Structure formats: structure tokens, C-alpha cells
Structure 1
Amino acid sequence: MPVHLASAKTRLLVGVCLAIATASASGCATKPSQMTTGSIPKFSKPIEQMDSAELNVAADQAGRAYDKAPTNPQVGITYANLLLMSGKNDQALAVMQRVAIANPKNSSVLAAYGKTQAAAGQFDQALASIQRAQTPDRPDWKLFSAEGAVLDQLGRPDEARERYRNALDIVPNEPSVLSNLGMSYLLTGDLKTAESYLRTAIAQPAADSRVRQNLALVVGLQGRFDEAINIAQRELTKEQADANVAYLKQMLNQQGTWKKLAKNG
């Protein structure tokens, strides 16, 4: 598999891991000393907007809550999400494995466990966990989106896109789902369709920097580098913008990447 496609899959998966988190990761700031056993730490901003230093502080706070209540579903999910954001996929998997053993019928736990399995490269196991978490009588759009992301990892794009559309039937114009759908088309080299979905996603009020970064990638892969950098930098802090541009340059500096994809577009 070309390196650029592997990286794109990682981007899609990270977005899903964050999008279907069930524990609150935002709200009023809470000092560690204010936490009680089993309580969920609260942070001053959503974790996807944190820089690396803020992620480290939040992960340390969540880790101490997890030490006090290692089988608490919401505490475990919060901690695992922070570990995923910090690139500690194996540790996140270990956390969710312990929580899943203690809560074998909790659908939120199964869903989060599936996402950490996928982040660790255990795609077949991840698909099974996510499908077990889904309930036919009350289907969850977040689980449809997560299932789609794993199916894309497994090279089954038609099935993946069907799951994304199932999710969009429940929540029309949800930006995280539209972004994943766009990235699905990126993975098969259809950059024009990918851009169309990502532009629709970024136009939604709830769209965040992950959607913007995915759009910047697709635009850049079509050779529109200045436009891509402008998208990557828009409405972000300097550190977030610099990180987005660094990622974009890393992807686009691979010789011939966008030309190879453009031939398939």
C-alpha cells in the first residue's frame, strides 16, 4: 500500500475515534483535587482542540481518575480517547480491554473498545466489537460511522459507504460522517468526489479542525498547494495551524503523490 494511502486511513480513523466518544471531554475546568473516586475529569476545551502539552496534562488527570476506578466505563473511555489523541494506541487498547472485560454488555464500552482495536490494527476484531454494540431497534449513527471506517480499513469501500449513508439517514449533514465519506473516496483515488463531500462537511456549523485538515489534504493532493495551506491554517491557533501545515507538507512532499492520485480521479 502506498504510504500516502496508509496515512489517509489513519486520518480517517482518528476522526472516528473522537467522533463517537460517549464520555464528556469538555465543559468547565476541574482541578484534579476536585475529582472523586470514579468521577470523570472535565476539561476547559474539547480534546480535539488541545495542543500536545494540554493533551499530556489532560491524560495525566484522566489517568489518575482511571487508577481510582479502572472499570468505570466513562472514565475508561475518556482516558482511552486521550491516549489515542497522544498516539498511545497500544496503551489505549489495554485500557479499553480491561474496561470491556468488566462491562461485557455495555454498548458504549464495546464501541470504544472497537475503535481502540482498529487504532491498534486489529480491524477484524474491531468490526466484531462495533457490530456487537449496534442495536437494530435503536441504531446508533456513530456506530454506523465507526463501522464504515473499519470497513474502509479492510478495503471494503462499497460496504463502508453504505454504513456512512445509514448514519446520514439518521443525522443528515453530520460533518464527521461526511468527512469519513469523503476520506473513503480519497482512499480509492476519487479526489473530486472526496473534495465535494469534505466541502459539504466543512460548511456545517459543527465541523472542526479535523475536517478542515482532511479537506486541505484532498485539495493539496490535487496540486492546489497554496489553497490547501490556506485551508489548513484557517481559524486555528498558531500551534494547531503549524501542526496542520506540517502534516500537509509531510503528505505532499512525497514525490508524485498527488499526480498518481489525480490519474485515478
Structure 2
Amino acid sequence: MALFYVFARYRFPLVPVLMLLAAGGVLEALDRARHRQSKGLAVAAAVAVLAVALAHLPLHDAKRSRAPHFLGIALALAKEPAHAEEAKGFYRRVLDLEPEFPPAQLGLGVILTQQGRPEEAIPYFQAAVASWPDYAEARYDLGLALAATGRWQEAAREYTEALRSSRDDADTHIALGKALTVMNRPDLALEHYQRGLTLRPKDVKGLVGLGVVYTQMGRADEAIRAYRLALETDPQDVAANNNLGWTLASTGRIAEAMTYFERALAIDPNYENARNNLAQARRMLGLVP
């Protein structure tokens, strides 16, 4: 990276470095493909393509050739939360040179979402999708941002579009399952949770979501089984503990339910749902006046 920076001003010394960057992008893309890591595959491929293209630009386009350099710096900085603002600055420098470059638009949106600013992130994800309609990762992240702002129907639409390009992505199936659950479509939600868990059987969010769907459908025994599977994978998951307690209580197993409410509160003393559920369970057992 330092060598790339030193030579960034010069056309001919820059070409070999650009080709090295392209090779690195190709190797990363191939590695992700071999391991079925769809997330980030598109970015790696795009970096490689851009580097190759810009390595062959004529001299009068030397300014634009800085874009992959800035993108590489942004990607490296974005890995560390402490450098998020610097990463945003380099993503913007890419967009100053290449205004419709989807990986930079995606990168900015992801950082803004991580900073708890999904409303500001949405336009960047939308711009990435407008530039590249089959960009599954951008559609997935757009869905997450829309869901974070309560726009569940729009989120479900983006997840569905993402699955057209990446139909075996477990994260997208599970996210779509959650959106459909909120939209009170447990039948469709169940299909996507099951598909996501087929792809990744021990996904805790997927198992907890599956339990919620079974609860909506009145299938308490199956919900309890899903929550227990989630806790086998992660005993510290607050939602799994609380939801298992609630479902046990709904079947009359109040004393057993209290154990899970207490565990949830031990993990997160500020978890209001568990606190309220525990208080209700105590009243039902006559443990409080």
C-alpha cells in the first residue's frame, strides 16, 4: 500500500502496482468463490476490474487512475472502527473521481449503518443498486438499513431482489424471514428461515427467528426446540433465553421459564422484556404481593 501511494502520481510506474492490485483482487475473488463467501466477492472482483481498466487509461486520465488507490486505502481503514471517518474520506475521494462506482457507494453506506445512521446510508446503497442492479450485497445492506428505519416492506423487496442474484445466501434468507415475520407472514417467513438454516444450521439469529415464527403459528413445542438449539450454540444469547422462557410460560411451565428470564437478565441487566417477563412469572407463582 505504501509503495502504491509513493507512485500514485506517476503514470508509468503506477501500472505495475495497479496490476498487482488487480491480481490481488482476482485471487481474493477466487478464494471467496471457492469457499462460497458471497459477501465481499463482488467488491474484490470490482477492485480487480477497475485496477486493470485504469492501468490501461491514457495519460490524460491519470487523475482517474487514483481511484483504485483511494479505494484500497478505504477498504483497509474500514476494517478498523477507529478509522471509520478516514475510510469515509477516501471513499468520497473515489466517488469524486468515479461518481457511479458501486463498491465505494456500498462502503460509505456500510460505515454509516455501523455508526447507527441508516437513514443517511440508504441513499448510498440505492445509488450502488442503481449503478449495478444485480449487486446482491448492496441490496442486502439496503434491506438492513430500511429495516432499521422500520420500512419492512421495502426491506423485504430488496432482500427478494438480492436472492435473485445470490439465491444461496444464508444471511439474506434469514433477514427476509425476519422482515416477513414482522409483516405477519409466518408461512413465507418459515420457508426462508428453513432455507437459511439449511445453508447454515447453527445460525443463532436464524434459530431464534424460527422460534418466533413457530410461536406465531401456535407451534410451541417446535419453538422451544428451536430456542434450545440456539442456546446450544450460544448460551449467552439474550433473545434465545428470554424467548424460551416466554414460550415455556405460555405452556404453563412457569418455574422453568423463570430460570431463562433470570439468565437473560444476568447477561443483560437492562433487557426490559426479560425483566417484565420475570416479574409477571413471579406474580403468577404468587412470589410477589
User: What band does the TM-score fall into relative to the shorter chain?
Assistant: 0.5 to 0.7
Matched position secondary structure for 1:38? helix
Residues 134 and 83 (structure 1), Cα distance of their counterparts in 2 relative to 1, 3 Å cut: same
1:182 is aligned to 211
- Contact 1:114-1:130 at 8 Å conserved across structures: yes
Q: Within 5 Å, which residues of 2 pair with 1:69-108?
A: 69-70=94-95, 72-108=101-137
- Does residue 149 of structure 2 align to residue 135 of structure 1? no
Deviations 1:75-109 (A, max 9, x none): 54454344434432212223312322222221221
Q: Give the unaligned 5+ runs of structure 1.
A: 1-19, 25-34, 45-54, 234-240
- Does residue 152 of structure 2 align to residue 119 of structure 1? no
Report which structure shows greater RCO (CA 8 Å, sep ≥6). Answer: 1
Structure 1 runs (4+) greater than 6 angstroms displaced: 188-191
1:60 is aligned to 85
| C-alpha separation in 2, matches of 1:66 and 1:92 | 13
- Does residue 70 of structure 2 align to residue 37 of structure 1? yes
Matched position secondary structure for 1:127? helix
2:61 is aligned to none
Deviations 1:169-199 (A, max 9, x none): 3333333322321233456676664443133
Whichever residue aligns with residue 240 of structure 2, its letter is: L
- Does residue 239 of structure 2 align to residue 214 of structure 1? yes
Deviation at 1:117, TM superposition (A): 1.9
1:200 is aligned to 229
Provide the aligned length of Structure 1 versus Structure 2.
205
Matched position secondary structure for 2:70? coil
1:22 is aligned to 39
Point out the structure with max Rg over C-alpha: 2
Deviation at 1:151, TM superposition (A): 0.8
- Does residue 273 of structure 2 align to residue 251 of structure 1? yes
| C-alpha separation in 1, matches of 2:38 and 2:149 | 17
Q: Give the unaligned 5+ runs of structure 2.
A: 1-36, 42-67, 285-289
Residues 124 and 256 (structure 1), Cα distance of their counterparts in 2 relative to 1, 3 Å cut: same
Residues 255 and 22 (structure 1), Cα distance of their counterparts in 2 relative to 1, 3 Å cut: same
- Contact 1:141-1:168 at 8 Å conserved across structures: yes
Whichever residue aligns with residue 43 of structure 1, its letter is: K
Percent identical: 18
The alignment yields a C-alpha RMSD, in angstroms, of 3.8
| C-alpha separation in 2, matches of 1:58 and 1:232 | 33
Deviations 1:211-255 (A, max 9, x none): x0211332454464564443565xxxxxxx5xx321x1x224558
Q: TM-score, normalised by structure 1?
A: 0.60
- Contact 2:261-2:278 at 8 Å conserved across structures: no
Whichever residue aligns with residue 269 of structure 2, its letter is: V
1:152 is aligned to 181
| C-alpha separation in 1, matches of 2:235 and 2:124 | 27
| C-alpha separation in 1, matches of 2:222 and 2:264 | 18
Matched position secondary structure for 2:157? helix
| C-alpha separation in 2, matches of 1:83 and 1:208 | 31
Instruction: Please identify which structure carries the higher helix content.
Output: 2
Matched position secondary structure for 2:164? coil
